Structure 1
């Protein structure tokens, strides 16, 4: 979000983020002035916990063998957000040599917008190429997500980043990978390659995290989770998205190979995705029409409607906050994605 939308994140007692429905209820109480006011003898307490930054850094860096970084050169762009106090230090303790930009904490985000876009990360890409770094890592404002620049200065699309790290995790840990229905099928292909399965959820990290918790309580081994936006969840560490752990895992991944990151990314199976947003006042009616139009196909109704085919899929889901629907189509070829998109749009416009 732009700086003027900077705010707070509410975390539930189980360590997961507060869900959308509860967040909207809380905001409604605040804006209406109807928030519950506790009696004087039941007021909660505020605790300052500056030591938790050190606890977090030590926990992430300590999840890997000493010296895992082995002198690896890394370029980091915390974006003047929360990662300014954590990621460069984590990587340094792992044995990396770190060059950083936008590494001062500043909630006005003077260096770039908090969303780590390819355009906003052009200076980081330049730094990677100028220093010969093995990769560059950047974060959003609250550092629950991480995105990467490869050794050639190319922005790695987040689903492919997810796939690369899923390959590393599933190679060493069997179990379920949990991800939303909006995630690339690349994750499913990679999980199956290593004997792991995939469970799909509604879109949103809270649904991923709580599904992971539910599966674990049932005795199901959970290997990994995350979204195709750079937000990955490492269950052995904590059950919420963690950009610092994602950056550290990339160091460990590259420590296992002499190949450059660009080569590893290029070797991933090809998938091509198209996305768009459409104004739609009657989203439930549209979903019903599509269910009827595609009734003979494999449908997933977890969140909107996802139409699954052998080499492609499409998702149409209503926005939770605006009168519009989000449309996603993915295929193993650009032609396949385009043709499926055209077919789907013909049904939507009817």
Structure 2
């Protein structure tokens, strides 16, 4: 039921009011007595919020409804409102046909595997503790959580020279970013600022392919920085003052290098570029790799010497602020960095860019293929990381073989510090998967 980013799927088939009702019942039955509920801009969220609230109240939990807000706004409000948990109805960067449900703890961290499994079990078994007529929970409206988030963002940064910033809200829920940057003295203009769950301005996910308008505006004006969010603003990507999209690994490296010092660690997933390792090594820090998914990155930031966590997808976590990926906070942090250290294009140019190769290989039995892959790799290499898929570091570079969670494919990633080495490592990695596939097919 749960993926690494909660429940997501097509509205009306995968994600329904019946499912939302069940999740609400399960959360309340699991002992969460006071729950914050919010949603992104998708119209289907209205129905799903009502269903979740009904399930929570039916099992005795009080509902604190905050309305349409960015996911990090809702996540931050849990502790602020003295609640036990939070539920956000959002499909994040997914297309307009989708919606989803994500559960949060008071620390701002998403529910981890054990908490998710407990909720999934209750939903699967229909194990709910329905309250009597006089034990139903209350439903209250709370309207000032965005103000609380905005104040926290303003307190988290110090801008020297104000910047001219263009914020592409993506028709989503991230308007708080533009408001806070303006309050900090920046000149701010917005793109796609009208909330609209059909995302008419551009697809919800911010990447090089979808941010053409933002890139053009930066190229043709004197703006210093371009910011882009997805539908619920848990992600943030950037465009520099020349109109160039900042590579995702470069942005991760910049944030990591700025946050870490001697002896510190930064958390990032197993597919993170060597460029981040190199940037951290230059300041005496190191990278600790996690499973793919912001919940796993956030969990690693609970360790004392981990000062920052990030995913190249655009999820950035400063644990002293919140363990929820906070796109508006990332925007403010990036503005602070540019204000104090100079143009983003020059900062990004300081980060090495290494050749990386990716492909997906279709397989009929991916679990069996991955078992064969792991056996082969462990036989051929002395050190193998099986935290999330199979990752191997070689003298030339590294490769990662990982089964897709949603498709019948094995994903292959390889990176090295030269084109020749990248090709060599990639050929080795794809060869391992191909041999494992042939061996598995021969056994059937």
- Distance (Å, rounded) in 1 between the aligned partners of 2:362 and 2:95: 23
- Distance (Å, rounded) in 1 between the aligned partners of 2:404 and 2:122: 22
What number of residue pairs does the alignment pair up? 339
1:236 is the counterpart of 2:320: yes
- Distance (Å, rounded) in 2 between the aligned partners of 1:38 and 1:44: 11
> Residue 236 of structure 1 aligns to a residue in which SS?
coil
> Residue 3 of structure 1 aligns to a residue in which SS?
coil
In the alignment, which residue of structure 1 is the partner of 2:347? 264
- Distance (Å, rounded) in 1 between the aligned partners of 2:118 and 2:320: 32
Deviation, 1:103, is: 1.1
**Alignment partner for residue 146 of structure 2, among 50, 53, 56?**
53
In the alignment, which residue of structure 1 is the partner of 2:131? 39
In the alignment, which residue of structure 1 is the partner of 2:91? none
Deviation, 1:29, is: 6.4
Residues 272 and 330 of structure 1 are in contact (CA less than 8 Å); yes or no, is this contact kept in structure 2?
Answer: yes
Distance 1:69 1:128, change over 3 A: farther
The alignment yields a C-alpha RMSD, in angstroms, of: 2.3
**Alignment partner for residue 9 of structure 1, among 87, 102, 112?**
102
- Distance (Å, rounded) in 2 between the aligned partners of 1:158 and 1:303: 20
Deviation, 1:102, is: 0.7
1:249 is the counterpart of 2:341: no
> Residue 7 of structure 1 aligns to a residue in which SS?
strand
- Distance (Å, rounded) in 1 between the aligned partners of 2:280 and 2:139: 43
- Distance (Å, rounded) in 2 between the aligned partners of 1:129 and 1:33: 56
In the alignment, which residue of structure 2 is the partner of 1:63? 156
Distance 1:174 1:89, change over 3 A: farther
Residue segments in structure 1 that go unaligned for 5+ positions in a row = none
Deviation, 1:19, is: 4.1
Residues 158 and 230 of structure 1 are in contact (CA less than 8 Å); yes or no, is this contact kept in structure 2?
Answer: yes
In the alignment, which residue of structure 1 is the partner of 2:299? 210
Report 1:181-330 matches (<5 A): 181-213=270-302, 215=303, 220-258=304-342, 260-294=343-377, 295-330=380-415
Deviation, 1:58, is: 1.0
Per-residue Cα deviation, 1:12-60 (whole angstroms, up to 9, x for no partner): 3442123467658757866x79362521344444342220101101101
Deviation, 1:297, is: 4.1
- Distance (Å, rounded) in 1 between the aligned partners of 2:390 and 2:232: 31
Length-normalised TM-score, structure 1? 0.89
- Distance (Å, rounded) in 2 between the aligned partners of 1:47 and 1:187: 45
In the alignment, which residue of structure 1 is the partner of 2:253? 163
> Residue 361 of structure 2 aligns to a residue in which SS?
strand
Length-normalised TM-score, structure 2? 0.71
- Distance (Å, rounded) in 2 between the aligned partners of 1:274 and 1:103: 36
In the alignment, which residue of structure 2 is the partner of 1:117? 207
Residues 270 and 333 of structure 1 are in contact (CA less than 8 Å); yes or no, is this contact kept in structure 2?
Answer: no
Residues 137 and 146 of structure 1 are in contact (CA less than 8 Å); yes or no, is this contact kept in structure 2?
Answer: yes
Residues 228 and 237 of structure 2 are in contact (CA less than 8 Å); yes or no, is this contact kept in structure 1?
Answer: yes
Which is worse superposed, 276-285 or 232-241? 276-285
Report 1:96-175 matches (<5 A): 96-171=186-261, 175=264
